[in-house]
Structure 1
């Protein structure tokens, strides 16, 4: 199964943090929905999933619900603190998430939310491709994507595509060399 990590970064390379002052760009959210529909699934962490439910953070069209834009998709939440969420599958590890989606017959898994989830998939070398949407904002304090928190390690990547999504968002799509 091919695994694709989808993330939004700031122009200075931080993992973009959404807030009322810095909401996600519509073009990036639309792109996420397109990738999720193509994969038929997505994997997120608990905090990201909860943020996707919060009407103060996302519009009604963007909320994850039984009748929203993600209806009929396999949504997997990786969490160690909760056991069940109605309508989604909850697992405790990245590998469990991939195993579940593979058993369901998916050819691609989309890893889409939370720096902790992204970093756990990257550090366990479970990612084949990355899609970075670079938002036109500089962020003073932010989180980073990390492939190995204990060592200075490099992973070479191959550029697959580069395109403008609109509103200053640039998308970079890479394959990770293994």
Structure 2
């Protein structure tokens, strides 16, 4: 029997739980001394599918000057609008649960939830997340966009591992089923 693909959140956060400042800036994150790419390349090789919300997609495209950074992966952007697919992205405005379960049933590597907070909250509430890999930066930014929004979900986790990348700490959790 084949093993089901996993849906994995891989993200960085400040110690006080924010993924970006109020103005969506990540300047605080890039000021932290890391080690190489802090495990990104190794993680990136474990996935072949990318999921993100529309606001995150727009942010990525703005900050990458229109160069799509995940061109060698299958990428889906969830949106409430009807948008024409592009060379690298398929825009999805269908039910998140059935779409994600369909992806998980296909052969392939793991599936990465890039962001954002609204999409993540839906994935958590619907119990679609299998693993969380959270890199904690030694920074307190006081306010901003929270990693986890308040919501109607409670999830038990099991620690799979911890890695240190200079000043960053990576926590790897598996969702208990």
* Correspondence list, 1:1-178, <5 A: 1-17=5-21, 18-19=24-25, 21-22=27-28, 24=30, 31-54=39-62, 57-58=63-64, 63-64=67-68, 70-87=70-87, 88-92=89-93, 93-99=95-101, 101-102=103-104, 105-142=107-144, 143-146=146-149, 149-150=151-152, 154-166=154-166, 168-178=167-177
Distance 1:20 1:14 in 2: 10
Q: 1:36 to 1:169 in 2, by over 3 A?
A: same
Structure 1 residue ranges without an equivalent (≥5) = none
- Between the two proteins, the alignment pairs up a number of residues equal to 166
TM-score (norm 1): 0.77
Q: Contact (CA 8 Å) 2:28, 2:141: kept in 1 or not?
A: no
Deviation at 1:144, TM superposition (A): 4.0
> Is the CA contact 1:7–1:112 (under 8 Å) kept in the aligned structure 2?
yes
Counterpart-to-counterpart distance in 1, 2:170 and 2:136: 6
TM-score (structure 2 length as normaliser)? 0.77
Determine the C-alpha separation between the residues in 1 that align with 2:130 and 2:173.
Answer: 9
Cα 1:40–1:59 shift into 2, 3 Å:
same
